[in-house]
Every structure is written in structure tokens, then in C-alpha cells.
Amino acid sequence: MQACYIERYGDADVVKVGVLPAPTPGPGELVFRMEAASINPVDFKIRGGMLRALQSYRMPAILGNDAAGVVTALGAGTAGFSVGDRVAARLDKARMGGFAERVLARPEHLARIPEGVGFAEAAAVALAGLTAWQCLTEVLKVGPGERVLIHAGAGGVGHLAIQLAKELGAQVTTTASAASHDWLRGLGADDCVDYRQADFTRECAPFDAVLDTLGGETLLRSIAHTRRGGRVVSVGDLPTPEVARELGKPWLVPVFWLLSRKPRALARAHGVAYRYWFMREDGAQLAQLLERIGRGDLKVKIEQEFPLARAPEALRLSEVGRVHGKLVIRP
């Protein structure tokens, strides 16, 4: 089968497209024919070896963390799905494999795609949508009337988080270039701050909750501009100690303690709850997101589609940034 893969960690030049053996499902596994997969920032972080402490891969490693398609084969003991089902998944972190003509998956990570929802939308919402939903509901615990800041609202996670935060009853502010403001207001953003021209810490009153997708100085300024008793979550900075414990890697606790000491110390000084979130695979939550798309309650922006042969080009574009919504790979 055709696949996009790496044989070693490195820069963009290590990404290859070629023929690899197609997967065979073992017990409790199934295979689906990929009809769409999406690009996420974690893809180029994995390629560069940035996440080796959390998850290492046997080489060659097929890239791609979410995908959608049609079930073609079932392993023993696979319940709940049949050959021919239209499915989407945020794939197992330990395996990946979305950028290939055949994808191996576990049923608990899968959701059926409702009628009227396309493969591209289903693939594009998997990782980004689950990240946004878990951050908003499980970490920030956003409630009606709360003032929420979502950074990089035009990005994959950001444009979905705006819509989901509005569903939760929040008053939503987002940072984005001026060219995106009308679109983001159409998705539900109450206020948009042009990060190129304005400083959100001067334009806005302190927030109840912040979803940070950028890390670095943006994260530090966000923590300092959150009200005492507020909450901040980042998916763009370095992991905090609890991530190591949740992943069953306690030996990494002191490492992450050291790496994340600056934002954690600032959060303590300001009376703010802060942590990094490493989203988890969840087929049931994904099914709910797909149902929202089917009802028209959640819109997924697909900026551009690429054939599998051009997946390395799509990865380069994602790494450069400035993508509105999601980039999608087709077989």
C-alpha cells in the first residue's frame, strides 16, 4: 500500500511516500480503507522527535493521527462494527498510521460517520475536536456566562473551540489576524483581537479561562491576565508533571516539573489553575462531535486537500503555520 512515513526522526526532508506492507488486524482490531486524514501540529512534532520522551515509534513509522474511511477487515473479538461501515478515529497514540491507504485501529477509538457528514470533515474533527472539547469541559470546566479566551482562533483547534465554547454558554474572545475576524464572528466569537496590531492584555479585562494553543510568551501573558481562581490550559507549551503520571511514566515527572516550572510558578503567584493537556482517544466523544456536524451545529473548515503523494508538502505547510482550519490528505 502507499503510505507517508519516516525511517528516522529529523526535519521535513526525512518524510517519504512509498510502498509499505498493508496492516492485518489482530484480535480486537480492524482495518479501514482511508478516504481522508488530516494534518495536525503533533505530526511534525513527532517527525522531529520532539515527543520521543512520551512516545517512541518503531521505524518505519507511518505518520497521521486521525483518519476516516470504510471498514474492510475485522479481527477476532471485534464487536460493534461491520465491514462497509463509514468510520472516523483519533488513532492510538502508540501506533498512528493515518497517512496510508489502509489504517489499523481499535474499536474504542472509532465512531460511525452519520449520513450527510463527509470523510474530510470527519477526519478533520477527530484530533482537533477532541482536544478542544476535552480542554473546555474536563480541564477548564467552562460554564455559562464565563469569559473565555481562545488563542489562534483560525487554527484547527481554535475554530472548533470557539463553537464548542459558545455551546457551553461562554462569552468568547479569540486572537487572530484581522482577515479572519468576520469568519470567526460568524462561528460565534464575541470579540476578536488582531494579534498583529493589538495586545489582548490591554484590550480585554482578565478572563475566567484560557485555552492556549501557542505556548511560550503568549502562555505566560495569558496566565498573568487570568483572574484569581481562573483556569488556563495549554496544548502548545511543554507538558506539566501530571501528564507523565497520567501516561504511566512517573520517571518523567521531575523532567516535566523542570521544563514547565516557569508557567507553573507564574500560575501559583496569580492564583490560577494551570496544566498542559495531552488529549486522549475517545470514540464516544468523537461520535458526539460528528453528530453535531451532522446537525449543522459544528462547522469544520477545510482549507486545502492534498493527495497522499503530496503529504510531505502538506506537512511543510502546516509547520509554517497560518493555516485557516484544517489541511486534509486524500488517498
The string of pLDDT tens digits covering residues 65-111 is: 999 999 999 999 888 899 999 999 999 988 899 999 999 999 999 99
Residue 321 pLDDT > 80: no
Taking phi first (over 0 means left), then psi (-120 to 50 degrees means alpha), and beta for anything else, what does residue 275 get?
A: beta
Residue 121 pLDDT > 80: yes
% residues pLDDT > 70 (the chain):
100
Rounded-to-10 torsion of CA 53, 57, 60, 61: -100
Let me know: does 256 contact 241? Beta carbons within 8 Å: yes
Q: Could you tell me the pLDDT band of residue 320, with boundaries at 50, 70 and 90?
A: confident
* Residue 52 pLDDT: 81
Terminal Cα-to-Cα distance of the chain (whole angstroms): 10
Residue 51 pLDDT > 90: no
Residue 54 pLDDT > 90: no
Show the domains of the chain with their CATH numbers.
2-112+301-330 (3.90.180.10), 127-276 (3.40.50.720)
Let me know: does 136 contact 161? Beta carbons within 8 Å: yes
Residue 219 pLDDT > 80: yes
Q: Model-level pTM?
A: 0.94
pLDDT, mean over the chain: 95
Burial category of 47 from C-beta neighbours within 10 Å (exposed 0-12, middle 13-18, buried 19 and up)? buried
Q: Could you tell me the pLDDT band of residue 316, with boundaries at 50, 70 and 90?
A: very high
Let me know: does 158 contact 189? Beta carbons within 8 Å: no
H or E element at residue 16? strand 16-19
CA torsion sign for 25, 29, 30, 34 is negative
For the chain, give percent helix, strand, coil, nearest 5.
Answer: 35, 25, 35
11-15, 55-59, 136-140: range with highest mean pLDDT: 136-140
Q: State the cell numbers at 295.
A: 446537525
H or E element at residue 194? strand 191-194
What SS3 string covers 93-120?
A: CCCCCCCECEEEECHHHEEECCCCCCHH
Quote the CA–CA distance of 187 and 169 in Å, as a whole number: 14
* Residue 56 pLDDT: 83
**Segment 9-28 mean pLDDT:** 94
pLDDT (tens digit, 9 = 90+) per residue, 241-255? 999 999 889 999 999
pLDDT (tens digit, 9 = 90+) per residue, 183-217? 999 999 999 999 988 899 998 999 999 999 999 99
* Residue 94 pLDDT: 87
Q: How many alpha carbons fall within 13 Å on the CB side of residue 53?
A: 15
